[in-house]
Chain A
Amino acid sequence: MSPGLALARRRLAQAPAVLAIVITGGFLLLEAAPGDAVDAYVASLGGDAGFVRELRERWGLDRSVWTRFLLYLAGLVTGDLGVSLAFDRPVAELVLERLPITLALAAAATSLALLLGAGLGLLCGSRPGGLADRLASAFVLALNATPSFWLGIVLVLVFAVRLRWLPSAGIETIGAGYAGVARLLDVARHMVLPVLTLGLVYAALYARVLRAGMVEAWRSDFVRAARAKGLPRKRLVLAHVARNALVPLLTVLGLHGAAMVGGSVVVESLFAVPGLGRLAFEAVIARDHALLVGIVLVCALLVILLNLVVDLLYGRLDPRIELASERR
């Protein structure tokens, strides 16, 4: 069995336990929230004490904690994440509606971050300590310390307010009536600033990881051997030094796939992009805990899947990775 496959299999074996903990945590969060679903429902739509009692009975909220937990689990099994009170719609439906936008945003931002981060990382790591490395590293460090929401505001100030090149918020021009390619271009124009905001922050991170991995690789015996052999510098940097920095980069990529969904909360709220992140923010503002916990569960599931893919890629990148050693 290939090492990547073995890693993935072990992860798959552990996934049910992890998912069970996440689900229990989600249920506990719902229980810990002040008031239950009926309180929230009645607070927004009204109803007398009799109606409250009837509603509690119908939703099983008058039962014991254990029964409620079982009911919650039974719902999850059938894909029922509960009902969002703020939207008066099933949580699962809302999440599925908003998810593609966030996935597209995250994919575009990750591509940009990888492209830019790899470029900067290579620039720094091909000659650590050189002038290019010093300048680029300073830029990367500063970018790495920049909060995404502030970067977004600065970008809006420059590109939307001063230069008027790009729209500052939303996902398309409302009422413009674009169709087909024109609409696609309109959406793309609206997504430039959000993608740039989210992507730049991660570009800095990837650049740092790549540089650190390359610095490490320069010190290794096989690179010294390759140098002694007289390998052309370009080949040495790309095929030996950079290649060995790919594994930590992949690790960070997998770990931060999760963080990016978190980051999209801020960026989507800032730019009014109707994705999953903004939905989470709307849920918080509306005190819609069922919706929020539903989003948390879906994100956890997505991250588990992403980690599986990363595991499968590991074996391809580094033949030294074996199942015996605990990763991370």
Chain B
Amino acid sequence: MSEAVFRFAREPAACAGLVLLFLLLALALSAPLLWPLDPEAPSPAILLPPFVEAAHPLGTDRLGRDLLARLLAGARTSLLVAAAATAAALLAGGAIGLLAGFSGGFVDELAMRLAEAFQVVPGFLLALALVSVAGPGLGSTVAAIAAASWPAPARLLRAEVLKLRRADFVLAAIAAGLSRPEVALKEVLPNALPPVLPLAALLAAAAILVEAALAFLGLGDPNRPSWGAMIAEGRAVLVSAPWLALLPGAALVLSVLAVNLVGEGLAEALAPRRAAA
């Protein structure tokens, strides 16, 4: 494990991604302290460009709301949805994958067909349909993204179980009298984690983009500022105030880039040691 940390630390791109991600998290979490302006409070100073007035360093939107405060609030929404949806997808997918791999037979067959059924429906279309039926909101956004992304961790964990099931240490644990759930959780799961972490990063990056796209189409939580919704609002004044659409987009690119860089670093660091690479 410590070896993997060293390998991660040697990758400049991965480290840059990690620093960027921590910075974003810190900004998002400390937003109420750092910049306590209400992101929803209108002001008479409408459509102020960035870097003109110290009271609104990044300018204001059509209602005179502070863009910096809204960007920070958008970061909270984005990161919260990404974390929750990824955790839900990993938990649900992981549980189903473990179950399928250990049970085999009909349960395995059913789980895999279920995963495939979720994968043949375009992910964004599935999320769209679920949000449409459940109604827009933070919870339905998270659930919709998780529902569209659980098959990947399920397949991955199932494959790991099939690979590890015949491993000596697993056979030894079974011989020592551990029950099946114990073997699954204590022996197989920890050893199946290395490929899961990069996948988690991949899912989180996708979740940020899907949340933004849903909000862009007006299907996000109407009570929370979201980068996607801000881009949609900015589109109406694209010519006179392009920064309103450009800045939230830049924030999105940076966040997804940070998560992707961390994910690539993890994949590289946790990959099985190659012989004389």
Report which A residues bind B (CB closer than 8 A): 14, 17-19, 21-22, 25, 29, 32-34, 141-142, 144-150, 153-154, 156-157, 161, 219, 255, 258-263, 265-266, 269, 280-281, 283-285, 287, 289, 292-293, 295-296, 299-300, 303-304, 307, 326, 328
Instruction: Select from chain B the residue with minimum beta-carbon distance to A31.
Output: B133
11 contacts between A and B (CB under 8 A): A14-B113, A22-B117, A141-B257, A144-B260, A145-B253, A154-B249, A261-B125, A266-B213, A289-B133, A300-B120, A300-B121
Interface 9-residue window, one of B25-33, B43-51, B184-192, B234-242: B234-242
Contact A142 B120 (CB under 8 A): no
Contact A296 to B129, CB < 8 A, known contacts A18-B120, A303-B120, A307-B120: yes
Chain B window 228-247, contacts with chain A (Cβ cutoff 8 Å), 1 for yes, 0 for no: 10010001001100100110
Contact A284 to B113, CB < 8 A, known contacts A145-B253, A154-B249, A262-B125: no
Contact A153 to B121, CB < 8 A, known contacts A219-B277, A284-B128, A284-B132: no
Contact B122 A262 (CB under 8 A): yes
Instruction: Select from chain A the residue with minimum beta-carbon distance to B122.
Output: A262
* Nearest CB of B to A185, in Å: 27
B114 CB-CB contact with A under 8 Å: yes
Instruction: Select from chain A the residue with minimum beta-carbon distance to B125.
Output: A262
Contact A21 to B231, CB < 8 A, known contacts A157-B242, A284-B128: no
* Nearest CB of A to B141, in Å: 14
Residues in B neighbouring A142, C-beta threshold 8 A: 253, 257
Residues in B neighbouring A285, C-beta threshold 8 A: 218
Contact A18 B246 (CB under 8 A): no
Instruction: Select from chain B the residue with minimum beta-carbon distance to A16.
Output: B113
Number of A-B contacts (CB under 8 A): 145
Cβ-neighbour of A259 out of B117, B123, B238, B255 (below 8 A): B123
Residues in A neighbouring B120, C-beta threshold 8 A: 18, 22, 258, 300, 303-304, 307
Report which B residues bind A (CB closer than 8 A): 113-114, 116-117, 119-126, 128-135, 155, 159, 162, 205, 209, 212-213, 216-219, 228, 231, 235, 238-239, 242, 245-246, 249, 252-257, 260-261, 274, 277
Please, how many angstroms separate the alpha-carbon atoms of A145 and B218 in the complex? 21
Residues in B neighbouring A280, C-beta threshold 8 A: 125, 128
Please, how many angstroms separate the alpha-carbon atoms of A263 and B213 in the complex? 9
Contact A141 B231 (CB under 8 A): no
Cβ-neighbour of A219 out of B131, B261, B274 (below 8 A): B274
Contact B117 A18 (CB under 8 A): yes
Contact A153 to B219, CB < 8 A, known contacts A22-B121, A146-B253: no
Contact B113 A299 (CB under 8 A): no
Contact A258 to B122, CB < 8 A, known contacts A144-B260, A296-B129: yes
Contact B121 A299 (CB under 8 A): yes
Contact B114 A21 (CB under 8 A): yes
Instruction: Select from chain B the residue with minimum beta-carbon distance to A28.
Output: B133
Please, how many angstroms separate the alpha-carbon atoms of A174 and B164 in the complex? 62
Residues in B neighbouring A255, C-beta threshold 8 A: 119
Instruction: Select from chain B the residue with minimum beta-carbon distance to A263.
Output: B124
Residues in B neighbouring A295, C-beta threshold 8 A: 125
Contact B253 A154 (CB under 8 A): no
Residues in B neighbouring A284, C-beta threshold 8 A: 128-129, 131-132, 217, 219
Residues in A neighbouring B246, C-beta threshold 8 A: 154
Please, how many angstroms separate the alpha-carbon atoms of A142 and B249 in the complex? 12
Contact B124 A145 (CB under 8 A): no
Cβ-neighbour of B260 out of A21, A145, A281 (below 8 A): A145
Please, how many angstroms separate the alpha-carbon atoms of A307 and B121 in the complex? 12
* Nearest CB of A to B129, in Å: 5
Please, how many angstroms separate the alpha-carbon atoms of A29 and B132 in the complex? 10
Residues in A neighbouring B242, C-beta threshold 8 A: 157
* Nearest CB of B to A262, in Å: 3
Contact B113 A21 (CB under 8 A): yes
* Nearest CB of A to B78, in Å: 11
Cβ-neighbour of B212 out of A144, A147, A154, A281 (below 8 A): A147
Residues in B neighbouring A146, C-beta threshold 8 A: 249, 252-253, 256
Which of B125, B130, B274: most chain A CB closer than 10 A?
B125
Residues in B neighbouring A148, C-beta threshold 8 A: 213
Please, how many angstroms separate the alpha-carbon atoms of A235 and B132 in the complex? 52
